[in-house]
Amino acid sequence: MAKNYTIDASGKKLGKLATEIAVCLRGKNSSDFKAYKISGNKVIVFNTSKIIYSGNKMQEKIYRRHTGYPGGVREITLGKILEIDSNFPLKTAVRDMLPKNTLRDKAMQNLKLYEGEIK
């Protein structure tokens, strides 16, 4: 049975929030959990711009990607990412907590992130 979850992210830490969302998306909090099936649960998260980042993560947490060309490693810190898109750190944290197979993309379609309040 698919459920809808609405989560307020203000004042919550990134990792704990991402864990909570990943459990809801997989359906591990329900009695009819099957590892090979998508639960169909939808998660809506608002106030992602008010997530708490502990320690010196703004300067020390680095996101890396590669362009595909030699010497093409690009690095950007959490602080700069948040200036561009406050949803990105939460989205990547949840994505990395889901299983690395075809179910991940289907589960990520059921996640909606909003920087402010829901209207």
What pLDDT was estimated at residue 1? 80
Decide: 63 and 75 in contact? Cβ < 8 Å.
yes
* pTM over the 0.85 mark: yes
Nearest Cα to Cα of residue 9 among 89, 80, 77: 89
Q: Which domains does the chain have, with CATH numbers?
A: 4-53+86-113 (3.90.1180.10)
CA dist 34 and 100 (Å) reads 16
Decide: 50 and 10 in contact? Cβ < 8 Å.
yes
pLDDT per residue rounded down to tens, the chain (119 residues): 889 999 999 999 999 999 999 999 999 999 999 999 989 999 999 999 999 999 999 999 999 999 999 999 999 999 999 999 999 999 999 999 999 999 999 999 999 999 989 86
Residue 88 exposure: Cα atoms within 13 Å on the Cβ side: 14
